[in-house]
Structure 1
Amino acid sequence: MDRRRFLATQSLTALALLTGTSGLRLAHAAGIPVSIAESEGHSWAVPFVADAGSLWAKNGLDASTTHFTSGRLTAEAVLAGKADFATTTDSVVALAALQGHKPVVFAEFANSSTQMLVAARKDKGVNVPADLRGKRIGTFYGSAGHFYLNQYLKLHGLTPKDVQIINLRPQEMVTALAQGSIDAFNWDWWAADAAAKQEGKGNVHVLSTDGVEKVYTSHFLLITNEQTAKAKPAALQAAVRALIDAEAVFKNDFERAVSVLAERTKGSLDASRNGLQRNHTEVQLAPRLIDDLVANAEWAIAEKIAQPPANGDLRALYAGLIDKSALAAVAPARVKL
């Protein structure tokens, strides 16, 4: 055994006390090789914990990870065959399917209605959501943030035609808001904190999220492609076990999860705790996932971002992308579809 694997195996002993796994499973330091495309941000804390605690290895995977700035880019890597698994959102899956791709969803590990938000500049006259009318709003086109913006505007009696949407990469939004080239943006909540600090004059603030859960829930998913699903069913089951073990860390030692997230995002413990408290952490496949995939698709079709499927049956389209077999084999009670 090489030094890296030896150290990884040793570090699992304490974590096993949290997750309740046996010494037999700890022995599985070497396993099925898989590549995982990971996105950045607080939404992905569950796989971060799995990675930090060597839970992939413990459950039989030899996992390597590549980092991307958004769930759209991770999904593209999986669909192109450049990664076996990806962390992404339901919005990305919905659009990919309408474009003729076939991402395979085999686990949801968390969801949230308040990880996304709208940050705005008060000195540009944006004090309440209704003030967004006529303003320049940055978002990442075709992403979960773009869909959130649509739903947020609708919640407050506005449409995309009432604003000017600017397509920006996530890493560009903070600077654009601070420099005043946009009046608001919507993305992860932590970006607003960064924008406020960079702008430095107290002008950046977060608009109200009251009632947003009625129109928006983002689902944080582990997906694969058809080839991997068929060729590596044991790998899918192992990944599900690792996610469930990571969920146990959240329940049994929440501060450990906070620490892992802070390290991965280079943020403070307080900010990481805030981010995690916005999430509902549970490995599952539940009906609202399909409901929200359909809602995403209806938005994309209405906005002419995508074309409807040939048979017009969105619910059947998305139900066909969900592979329940891995979760059903590992923890059947978590399959609620």
Structure 2
Amino acid sequence: MRSIKSGIGIFSITLFILVTLGAWKIYSPGTQIEKLRMAEASQPVFALIYLAESLGYFADEKLEITYDSYTSGRDALNSVVSGKNDIATVYETPVVLQAFNGVELAVVAELHNSTSNTGLVARKDRGIHVAADLRGKRIGVPLKTNAEFFVSLFLSSHGIHPNEVTLVPVKPNDMAATLKGDTVDAISVWNPNLYKTKAAFSEDEITSFYSDVYTEISVLALKRDNADQRGEAILRLLRALKRAEAYLKENSAEAKKLVIAQLPPNVQITAPHVWDAFSAELKLDTVLLSTLQGEADWLKEAGSFSDKSMPDFTALIDTQYLNEIYPQAVTIE
């Protein structure tokens, strides 16, 4: 009888432990749905986001994302700063501008990089055949954007002083029509508007310029206080994007179709033509840090924020989340 009672007691304790552990697993915070409001700029370079959504990787992580679409990363980031959204897909330049304005941001991952997604298109009938011919010419560009930064670096690399050209402010969507007119001789912008501008001319009418002196980078950015509170959601987001990156590498043709299908109709038209102009990679590297610092130096030298101190970009880049789930993708301290 004593041994039977002992056996029953052990069984009861074991059952209690299993039930308790089971209950903990069921009600663990890790199994609860996390939600994020994402401001996205509807461009092919954000392919990893669209892939993770299409393939159900966010759902697998119990991460529910509500999308808010914008025509530029600048506006997407502004919505995060205002508190309307939690996280934004954005190019590096708006991040630098917000940092100068004193906004405390956290960049948790890069989404793409490219040396040929932003470029310059010039009209040959205006006497522009090589870079040196840009002297004395008018270049249309969206001011205070990565395109203007590209122009600055490109001109400098060819020994052309900024005072030797005239920059004309032009909206990205107006590039093709503006270059067709008489107010500029060349334009600089990113895809898809770069492609649209080139497509508006025959090949013998224009000269196109690209340069590896500038690496275009897009990132995922949040306000610092929000990032500190949403660590679990960020980890789930990055885990899903890591899977999307692996899928892209193994199934590039199918991935391309899935991404393009999720883009707005007007972007779907140009997306196939610009797909090979960028590399979708989840990482945090020294190229990002040097690009942010380089753009900040450029802005101060150009007279913007001359009264502001240089932002601490090493603090702005938050490696802890990506380092936890994908340490080999983090090459910045």
Q: TM-score range by the shorter chain?
A: 0.7 to 0.9
- The one-letter code sitting in structure 2 at the alignment partner of 1:53 is L
* Alpha carbons of structure 1 residues 201 and 226: separation in structure 2 relative to 1, 3 Å: closer
State yes or no: 1:333 paired with 2:328.
Answer: yes
* Alpha carbons of structure 1 residues 59 and 138: separation in structure 2 relative to 1, 3 Å: farther
Aligned to 2:173: 171
Q: CA deviation at 1:98?
A: 1.5
Q: CA deviation at 1:105?
A: 0.1
Distance in 2, matches of 1:319 and 1:78, equals 21
Aligned to 1:320: 315
Distance in 2, matches of 1:230 and 1:277, equals 36
* Alpha carbons of structure 1 residues 115 and 308: separation in structure 2 relative to 1, 3 Å: farther
State yes or no: 1:68 paired with 2:70.
Answer: yes
* Alpha carbons of structure 1 residues 194 and 270: separation in structure 2 relative to 1, 3 Å: closer
- The one-letter code sitting in structure 1 at the alignment partner of 2:234 is L
* Alpha carbons of structure 1 residues 183 and 265: separation in structure 2 relative to 1, 3 Å: farther
Aligned to 1:44: 46
Q: CA deviation at 1:199?
A: 4.5
Equivalent residues, number: 302
- The one-letter code sitting in structure 2 at the alignment partner of 1:325 is Q
Pairwise mapping of residues 192-203 of structure 1 onto structure 2 (< 5 A)? Answer: 192-199=194-201, 202-203=204-205
State yes or no: 1:255 paired with 2:250.
Answer: no
State yes or no: 1:35 paired with 2:34.
Answer: no
Aligned to 1:145: 147
- The one-letter code sitting in structure 2 at the alignment partner of 1:284 is K
* Alpha carbons of structure 1 residues 332 and 83: separation in structure 2 relative to 1, 3 Å: same
Pairwise mapping of residues 163-242 of structure 1 onto structure 2 (< 5 A)? Answer: 163-199=165-201, 202-207=204-209, 209=210, 212-213=211-212, 215-242=213-240
C-alpha root-mean-square deviation of aligned residues, in Å?
2.5
Report if the CA contact (8 A) 1:195-1:204 is conserved: no
* Alpha carbons of structure 1 residues 259 and 180: separation in structure 2 relative to 1, 3 Å: farther
- Unmatched tracts of structure 2, length 5 or more: 1-29
Q: CA deviation at 1:260?
A: 3.2
Report if the CA contact (8 A) 1:39-1:74 is conserved: yes
Q: CA deviation at 1:171?
A: 1.0
* Alpha carbons of structure 1 residues 204 and 239: separation in structure 2 relative to 1, 3 Å: same
Q: CA deviation at 1:233?
A: 0.8
Report if the CA contact (8 A) 1:178-1:195 is conserved: no
- The one-letter code sitting in structure 1 at the alignment partner of 2:241 is L
- Unmatched tracts of structure 1, length 5 or more: 1-27
Question: Secondary structure of 1:304's partner?
Answer: coil
What do residues 74-109 of structure 1 show as CA deviations (whole Å, max 9, x unaligned)? 111111111111111222212221221122100112
- The one-letter code sitting in structure 1 at the alignment partner of 2:66 is S
Structure with higher Rg: it is 2
Q: CA deviation at 1:48?
A: 2.5
Distance in 2, matches of 1:332 and 1:190, equals 32
Question: Secondary structure of 1:181's partner?
Answer: coil
Question: Secondary structure of 1:251's partner?
Answer: helix
Distance in 1, matches of 2:84 and 2:268, equals 33
Distance in 1, matches of 2:47 and 2:92, equals 17
* Alpha carbons of structure 1 residues 111 and 193: separation in structure 2 relative to 1, 3 Å: closer
Report if the CA contact (8 A) 1:122-1:205 is conserved: yes
Q: CA deviation at 1:284?
A: 1.2
Select which of 80, 101, 104 maps to 1:102.
104
- The one-letter code sitting in structure 2 at the alignment partner of 1:323 is D
TM-score where L is the length of structure 1: 0.81
* Alpha carbons of structure 1 residues 319 and 273: separation in structure 2 relative to 1, 3 Å: same
Range with greater deviation from structure 2 (156-165 or 54-63): 54-63
Question: Secondary structure of 2:316's partner?
Answer: coil
Report if the CA contact (8 A) 2:128-2:207 is conserved: no
Distance in 2, matches of 1:261 and 1:175, equals 28
Question: Secondary structure of 2:200's partner?
Answer: helix
- The one-letter code sitting in structure 2 at the alignment partner of 1:255 is A
- The one-letter code sitting in structure 2 at the alignment partner of 1:248 is A
- The one-letter code sitting in structure 2 at the alignment partner of 1:231 is Q
Q: CA deviation at 1:159?
A: 2.8
TM-score where L is the length of structure 2: 0.82
What do residues 270-320 of structure 1 show as CA deviations (whole Å, max 9, x unaligned)? 96455332323321111221111111111010001223653x5x5xx0001
Q: CA deviation at 1:57?
A: 2.6
What do residues 186-233 of structure 1 show as CA deviations (whole Å, max 9, x unaligned)? 1124423322433569523422x2xx22x2112211111123202211
Q: CA deviation at 1:29?
A: 11
